[in-house]
Structure 1
């Protein structure tokens, strides 16, 4: 039995851990840390596995990351001394009580024992606090706080590598927010306080104000898209980890309790295809054949020898739309994407592309895929769909220039061809639903663009028929004279 389970530690250790989870009173946290599906990882594995620093419990002991282990310990030591209220062994002792809840956050069973998990939580979370303090609130806020002032000389002593920042937003590398909350409660407790339960229930200023400020500020600093402003602190702390918080900051227009449920309207897409009334039989056949061609896919850049994947969003590129008279304007939210027929304007959100963006975007797509996997109701993978749209309208550096000129793309320290590679390399493996407003915008812009191509087709057909008629007339005249 034990061999079939294939555990590295004795089976009784596994039984003890499961019993602790079952009997714990604090394990209502849903599973939130997932393994990225293989079909997403296949295209670029390094975008999903930390390359510099392992923070979560899935990668903290990877041999490839061992060069950072002692650096993390050094940072954690400084951060712990910055709080300066309790002994480190006391922090570990109290964190062990949180282990069942932490195990419940993971999709798979954690093979490490309780002590290893407690130490990993302490070191990795304290290391993350350095980044949260420096990028989330800054030293001015630390100085003004009676609780956090000891961290002023600790946070940001070394500018974090971009690789570290990317790693903190990987799905498999997440630290549950309940860990951060509990460590702050423990670190900021009075050293003589012996009532553990009362300490955990106590709503410290740092939990109510500074932790949400850290989390929200950090997400805002790294987000490739506009995030929801004035997000309530109480809601921020309900999210299971940073990536989940970032996803909802991007996707929500308002905090959840203020957001009225939307009723999805059925969309009827009827294409207006006026038929040219040309008397000759050859003209009718020619026009009909031309009108029935898939004009949005006839360019050489989009012809593929294989059948088109039905899950791929088909849309003209930005430069082609621009050449067809379409203008672009920016909007602050994904759900506000739309095509204005009257103004012939395609509205798209601003997106910032820098050295961290690809990894963050890919992991947001992975999070959306895993978090919606077990939902009873079918939902549109809106963020994934938006990325597919951007992949469709960006094929060349000319497309990048068009979108940057109109304020849609903001590229930082990246060349145009690198931006093209980022979007062209995004995975197309996620099944897309067709119930969201974004599909209406795509259909609208396609109808407009196809209408332009069909108009050209009709003009070309009429010209061909007119030329054919003239040739027949000339030929008849020559025969008559003979």
Structure 2
């Protein structure tokens, strides 16, 4: 018999406590009376963990807070204990702004929201009620005071240096470092002793300043009244920034599809007539005699010298347009990440494409005008915080869309496709599409080239159409056609040309030797004669 393993009383107590809490939470969620007070069925999960596909070792720091934890996912981690005193110091300053404000009073106010707070998190929160509510009270107070002071004076006293500011700002925008906006609203209500409307106004101004500084795209915010009306739709700070950059594009595309369906219903009769006429022509020209008669002149002409070169120049554009049309209507197959092929900025610039910055600043303004060759893009803002913000926006979109189109992810793939080198970054800067505060253009190019990893395949109508329009315009330019012709028929056949040159040189040398021999024989014959 093996000796019995000693029982850890604390572990046993923890398991029993967790089981009792689980039963209590289930009872609360199923209780009809409490359900009216906490309509959890209306609360959507909005605070996620990073998808495993994005948690590669090279960019792990972009998703894990380095200076401060916000919310329950990373709280009480040993590596973040050093900055807890900064958090408490700033939270105390928040408390001292109101004589009547006390943290235990805020915790009591948040007590009625405890179940709603837990419902916002995708990962199970293994914390008791009191611990969770105190984390919410301290973190929300710290967050509000830090952002208020930072965007009012540009610094948070002397508690943290400038490098620490940027680290905290990056931590605030991480997908796993979020707390619900209704907690921030309640904290402001208690501190200001005001209404929800007043708390919303102050919170909106704080978030607007934050997003202006950290957004990877230069945002033009909506009218204040419209933004206030939509403010309750935002889940947390990262969601606020995401919805400013990626407005309701999916809904707009669905409305356009419905309009197209309605228009197509009126054209069904005409399409049916054209289809029947097309079938009749096919039956006539598909016969064997007609096929021989129609193909005979083409076979004669195609064997003429130099026809291959001309046919390459004139038929390549038609073939590419046909291939593009097929890809447009092939809706069943989503585009692969590897299928996003588009020329770089420098190649497009040489082909006559002009890059134009858009005014609104969100992803929906991406377009291409085939008539003028103008490529419209929102202004890109790059600084030391952009890489982290971009990656967490991509991770949030992948977790929050539930199988929908990954609009922002597709946009990053587009920019990654056109930026290959520091020369591409320089051209975008000179044309006003990119504003960089990084050390060099090479650093900016490396940052975008590292954004190619995606969670899953996606298809976004207006972005895919823009890519196809750009490719069609680029391949249709005469400079590109001639360049490709030279590559295929000159540089691509250099071995044959080298062989022919060697044969020609051998023939010339042989002729020269023969002429010398015959000359010598003739001279020798004259002398002997």
TM bucket normalised to smaller: 0.7 to 0.9
Match of 2:394 among 353, 360, 365: 365
74-83 vs 231-240, greater mean Cα deviation? 231-240
Q: For 2:79 and 2:159, how far apart are their aligned partners in 1?
A: 24
Which residue pairs with 1:280 in the alignment? 303
Q: Summarize the Cα distance change of 1:462–1:315 in structure 2 as closer, same or farther, 3 Å threshold.
A: closer
Confirm whether residue 450 of structure 1 aligns to residue 465 of structure 2: no
Q: For 2:316 and 2:143, how far apart are their aligned partners in 1?
A: 57
Note the C-alpha offset of 1:454: 2.9
Q: For 2:425 and 2:378, how far apart are their aligned partners in 1?
A: 14
Q: For 1:323 and 1:423, how far apart are their aligned partners in 2?
A: 22
Which residue pairs with 2:222 in the alignment? 229
Secondary structure of 1:346 counterpart? strand
Note the C-alpha offset of 1:278: 6.7
Which residue pairs with 1:218 in the alignment? 210
Q: For 2:337 and 2:201, how far apart are their aligned partners in 1?
A: 44
TM-score scaled by length of structure 2 = 0.70
Q: For 1:461 and 1:420, how far apart are their aligned partners in 2?
A: 30
2:406·2:459 contact (CA, 8 Å) conserved in 1?
Answer: no
Secondary structure of 2:464 counterpart? helix
Match of 2:166 among 142, 162, 165: 162
2:302·2:308 contact (CA, 8 Å) conserved in 1?
Answer: no
Q: 1:144-182 CA deviation, whole Å, 9 max, x = no partner?
A: xxxxxxxxx988975661010011111110111011111
Which residue pairs with 2:324 in the alignment? none
Match of 2:247 among 245, 252, 263: 252
Note the C-alpha offset of 1:224: 1.5
Q: Which has the higher helix share?
A: 2
Secondary structure of 1:172 counterpart? coil
2:410·2:460 contact (CA, 8 Å) conserved in 1?
Answer: no
Q: For 1:352 and 1:132, how far apart are their aligned partners in 2?
A: 20
Q: For 1:400 and 1:173, how far apart are their aligned partners in 2?
A: 31
Q: 1:177-220 CA deviation, whole Å, 9 max, x = no partner?
A: 0111111222233xxxxxxxxxxxx7345324212222222222
1:380·1:433 contact (CA, 8 Å) conserved in 2?
Answer: yes
Which residue pairs with 1:192 in the alignment? none
1:105·1:176 contact (CA, 8 Å) conserved in 2?
Answer: yes
Match of 1:123 among 111, 135, 138: 138
Match of 2:107 among 84, 92, 100: 92
For structure 2, which runs of at least 5 residues remain unmatched after alignment? 1-10, 261-297, 321-334, 509-529
Secondary structure of 2:112 counterpart? helix
Q: For 1:251 and 1:101, how far apart are their aligned partners in 2?
A: 27
Match of 1:327 among 339, 350, 354: 354
Q: 1:244-292 CA deviation, whole Å, 9 max, x = no partner?
A: 11111112289x9xx89741488xxxxxxxx9x9743675566778977
Confirm whether residue 114 of structure 1 aligns to residue 141 of structure 2: no
284-293 vs 435-444, greater mean Cα deviation? 284-293
Q: For 1:116 and 1:421, how far apart are their aligned partners in 2?
A: 42
Q: Summarize the Cα distance change of 1:214–1:47 in structure 2 as closer, same or farther, 3 Å threshold.
A: same
Match of 1:56 among 71, 75, 81: 71
Match of 2:337 among 311, 314, 328: 311
2:86·2:159 contact (CA, 8 Å) conserved in 1?
Answer: no
Which residue pairs with 2:526 in the alignment? none
1:34·1:370 contact (CA, 8 Å) conserved in 2?
Answer: yes
1:21·1:104 contact (CA, 8 Å) conserved in 2?
Answer: no
Secondary structure of 2:198 counterpart? helix
Q: For 2:49 and 2:487, how far apart are their aligned partners in 1?
A: 54
Q: 1:397-418 CA deviation, whole Å, 9 max, x = no partner?
A: 1111111111111101332121
1:30·1:105 contact (CA, 8 Å) conserved in 2?
Answer: yes
Q: Summarize the Cα distance change of 1:260–1:10 in structure 2 as closer, same or farther, 3 Å threshold.
A: closer
Confirm whether residue 392 of structure 1 aligns to residue 392 of structure 2: no
Match of 1:240 among 199, 220, 235: 235
Confirm whether residue 381 of structure 1 aligns to residue 395 of structure 2: no
Confirm whether residue 434 of structure 1 aligns to residue 459 of structure 2: yes
Note the C-alpha offset of 1:435: 4.1
Confirm whether residue 29 of structure 1 aligns to residue 29 of structure 2: no
Which residue pairs with 2:290 in the alignment? none
114-123 vs 231-240, greater mean Cα deviation? 231-240
Q: Summarize the Cα distance change of 1:238–1:84 in structure 2 as closer, same or farther, 3 Å threshold.
A: farther
Runs of 4+ in 1 over 6 A off after TM superposition: 153-157, 286-295, 459-465
Which residue pairs with 2:7 in the alignment? none
Note the C-alpha offset of 1:421: 1.6
TM-score scaled by length of structure 1 = 0.76
Which residue pairs with 1:71 in the alignment? 86
Secondary structure of 1:328 counterpart? strand
Match of 1:206 among 194, 198, 203: 198
Secondary structure of 1:171 counterpart? coil
Q: For 1:241 and 1:126, how far apart are their aligned partners in 2?
A: 15
